[in-house]
Structure 1
Amino acid sequence: MVRWEGANLTSPPSNEPRVTDGRSPLWRGHNVFRVVMFLYACAWVGVQYHEYERSWLAVVVIVLMGLWTAFTVWRYSKPTGRTNLLVALDQVVVTALFMSNEFILTEEQMAASDPTVVTAWHPTMITAAAAQWGMPGGLATGIFAAGCNFLLRWKTSPDMALDTVLLIGVGAVIGIAANSARSTTARLARALRAEAATAERERLARDIHDSVLQVLARVRRRGAELGGEAAELAKLAGEQEIALRALVATTPQEPTENGETDLAARLQVLRTGRIHVSVPGNPVLLEEPLSSELFAVVRESLANVDKHAGPDAQAWVLLEELPDEVVLSVRDDGPGIPEGRLDEAAAEGRLGVAKSIRGRVAGLGGTITLDTEPGEGTEWEIRVPLPVAKPAKRRRGGER
């Protein structure tokens, strides 16, 4: 038996393409916004310097704002610097500097709604939180910032209402953009991995076709001509040739955005000269754990066919997707299973069928039935309910 072990044809290449974080433009915008708002705050401090109750404290706050602006702009300019800890610390520092205006502004300035020392630099904590944590983080930080603004002013007015709407709105809008950028980045990364895996697969397919498949084809033809034991080797070489061709032709599996994989494509890999696979023409997308368990059930059933039905037995795998369940059928033309044989095997401690097949199906909440007669072959029918009923329009009769 010839085996190809030179590469893993079902996995993407190790040198996966690197994808830039889609939120990077938001962070660049945040950095520019923070610098501009710091300069704006400096201008207002210059205008109102002699009107503050404690002008020296205003200067201290401006200096601290400048240092924190420089530090965070430097850190946020690199993806490695955009940590949850730093963004959380950013909220604390900006809030503390903002609340310090309680000791800087006079009562008259508070009543007249004059700009604080921090002024429009305050919302930069919201843009940072929204870029890092998406809409939930941006919305929560906006509400928190609006609450701090109310605690500082301790009054309600049209200006306060407008500030509240703007603070919360900025967090929501930037958060939605961050969520969209994150999901877009994930989709792009999956697409690039699939593209790289396909390119690598095509390269391997060319190499295999020029070497292994040609050798197997030659062994098959020559063995059939010689007859005898060579014919048996030719048969094995033919089976391996079919299996390898099916493996090379199968599209690499990459989970979707929802963590689903195509069970139909996975089953195609099992096709050999003795194993016939029939699946719907459209993808059968299932959650990864469910898809893996069903694939393992089919593989274990086929292993039993190979072990007990004889070297010449043929096997058929049929996959159907119904609106509310998935139906798998594994049939062979072997000698069948005598009545009571499975119970005897379980009593002897041979639990392959009991655990690997029936146990897996039961764990998925499905049912499994056995139809067999001596000399009539064996058929397992597995029915597993879908977590969420899928639209009937996905049910098609086409096969591939």
Structure 2
Amino acid sequence: MRQRFGPTAVEPATPLWWGAIGLRVLTWLFALGAVVVHDDDYRRPGLAWVVLGAMAVWTILTSLVYSREALRWRWHWFVVLDVAVVCGLMLTSPLILSPAQLAGVDPLITTVWVAGVPVAAGTRFGGYGGMAAGLVLGAGTAVARQAFTLDVARDGVLLVATGLLIGMSATTARRSAAALAEAWRKEVATAERERLARSIHDSVLQVLARVRRRGAEVGGEAAELAELAGEQEIALRALVTTEPTSTSAGESDLRGALQLLATSKVQIAAPAGDVLLPADVTAELVAVVREALSNVDKHAPGARAWVLLEHLATEIVITVRDDGPGIPEGRLEAAEADGHLGVARSIRARVLELGGTISLETAPDRGTEWEVRVPKAGKKR
């Protein structure tokens, strides 16, 4: 499946991939010059040209793969194979160079051509992947030189640093593109929501507001219809004014989802910013609150309810309180024994599955208060 980071499907780190291709080509040309200069001094000049040809073929092959548009075509295994092939070619240096060349400052047969590998690995795997590729190549340089010198250590540090910096750049590019895509998606969704809100305000909301006012004036049964129209007006206003609750990362805004439960009898208090949780966790918590509010409506008609959402450092706390008559002692146990499992399954079981805790405070004529605490990680047991 093609990865999309915004309005286009181009991989955000594409410039880095092209940089890796360009570096590979330029460094191969440098290796060609080195072979031409040192050809007469090599122990096996013929093998040097064979290895140089293999380097050219591998440069072309990697360029074809790394130039693909989508990230999925730049396979993990191919980048790992790239590291192995380049190390293998570099390890032919003791067979080609003379002992004096190996002990001196003459370049290995692959010279700086190996620098393209940590660039590719960092672009594909991030900073840690680039560092790992640099360490492998640094170790391969020491083996090929058959000694660990200051020059070998310097080359290793440069390779590791290159992989780290390029990897960090690639990771930053992808995260920035994802953030931009999310902002773009929200902007489009918000614009569409505002368009719908204007249309609804000019039609449905005005009708509901008129029914509410006229019903209240007439009284009697019309007053009951007015109350229902008022509740639907509040719910509809909440729906068209609440920001989109889902993200491309599989998260949803618990704050926005709870605000949709507001009615003339239910007030929602929540933080100003989004409370992003995994979508399944948000759905479960909303179901818990909805069941608690349903119990208020069922067992305490006319009672008002308040929902308080708190976004703490390590957990989410939701409090649902009402001013009803309260729950008589032993009533929940008796209901569960009679097979009425709304509280047991719809409220307590959901919270326990989320790894949270739930407590109840109630007394005659003092209402009911549920307090739900769920870890922010939102992992089910």
**Band the TM-score falls in, shorter-chain normalisation:** 0.7 to 0.9
2-structure distance, mates of 1:16, 1:271: 34
Residue type of the partner of 1:380? E
Determine the C-alpha separation between the residues in 1 that align with 2:84 and 2:200.
60
- 2:17 aligns to what? 27
Equivalent in the alignment of 2:151: 159
Mean CA deviation greater in 342-351 or 53-62: 53-62
Q: Deviations over 1:316-364 (max 9, x none)?
A: 2233456676543322344443332211211122211012222333443
Q: Does 1:314 align with 2:307?
A: no
Match of 2:287 in 1: 296
- What is the match of residue 57 of structure 1? 47
Q: 2:370 matched to 1:381?
A: yes
Task: Give the distance between the partners of 2:136 and 2:245, measured in 1 at CA.
Answer: 44
Corresponding residue of 1:91: 83
Secondary structure at 2:151's aligned position in 1?
helix
What CA deviation, in whole Å up to 9, does each residue of 1:246-271 have, x standing for no partner? 111112235599x8765433322211
User: Pick from 253, 275, 287: which aligns with 2:266?
Assistant: 275
Contact 1:190 1:254 in 2 (8 A): no
Equivalent in the alignment of 2:173:
181
The one-character-per-residue Cα deviations of 1:112-141 (angstroms, maximum 9, x if unpaired) are 231222211112111110111111111111
Aligned residue in 1 for 2:133: 141
Quick check: 129-138 or 234-243, which moved more? 234-243
Most deviating of 235-244 and 223-232:
223-232
* Matched position secondary structure for 2:126: helix
Instruction: Classify the secondary structure of the residue corresponding to 2:92.
Output: helix
Tell me: CA distance 1:370–1:187, structure 2 relative to 1, closer, same or farther (3 Å).
Answer: same
Partner of 2:34: 44
Q: Give 3-state SS (helix, strand or coil) of 1:211's partner.
A: helix
Distance 1:183 1:143, change over 3 A: same
Give the counterpart letter for 1:307 in structure 2: K
Letter of the structure 1 residue corresponding to residue 268 of structure 2: V
Aligned-partner residue type, residue 137 of structure 1: G
Corresponding position of 2:95: 103
**Residue equivalent to 1:192:** 184
Contact 2:119–2:166 (Cα < 8 Å) also in 1:
yes
What SS does structure 2 have at the residue aligned with 1:53?
A: coil
For structure 1, which segment, 263-272 or 237-246, has the greater mean C-alpha deviation from structure 2 after superposition? 263-272
Contact 2:212 2:226 in 1 (8 A): yes
The equivalent residue for 1:305 is 296
Q: CA RMSD in A?
A: 2.9
Compute the displacement of 1:152 (Å): 0.9
Q: Counterparts of 1:273 and 1:320 in 2: how far apart (Å)?
A: 22
SS of residue matched to 1:276: strand
Taking the aligned partners of 2:345 and 2:324, their CA distance within structure 1 comes to: 22
Query: Given that residues 296 and 322 in structure 2 are in contact (C-alpha distance below 8 angstroms), is that contact kept between their aligned partners in structure 1?
Result: yes
Structure 1 segments unaligned to the other structure (5+ residues): 1-14, 389-400
Of residues 247, 264, 274, the one that matches 2:255 is: 264
Q: CA 1:387 to 1:204, structure 2 compared with 1: closer, same or farther past 3 Å?
A: closer
Match of 1:205 among 197, 200, 218: 197
Aligned residue pair count: 369
Q: Is 2:332 aligned against 1:347? A: no
Q: CA deviation at 1:283?
A: 3.1
**Partner in structure 2 of residue 243 of structure 1:** 235
Q: Secondary structure at the match of 2:91?
A: helix
Per-residue CA deviations over 1:262-310 (Å, capped at 9, x if unaligned) read 5433322211122111234x43746436555433321220122233323
Tell me which residue corresponds to 2:358.
367
The CA distance in 1 between the partners of 2:157 and 2:210, in whole Å, is 76
Query: Secondary structure of the equivalent of 2:263?
Result: coil
Query: For the residues of structure 1 that align with 2:96 and 2:368, how far apart are their CA atoms?
Result: 84
Paired residues of 2:133 and 2:163 also in contact (CA < 8 A): yes
Using structure 2 for the length normalisation, give the TM-score.
Answer: 0.86
For the 8 Å contact 1:274–1:313, the answer to whether it is kept is yes
5+ residue gaps, structure 2, are none
Letter in 2 for 1:75: V
What secondary structure is seen at the aligned counterpart in 2 of 1:122? helix
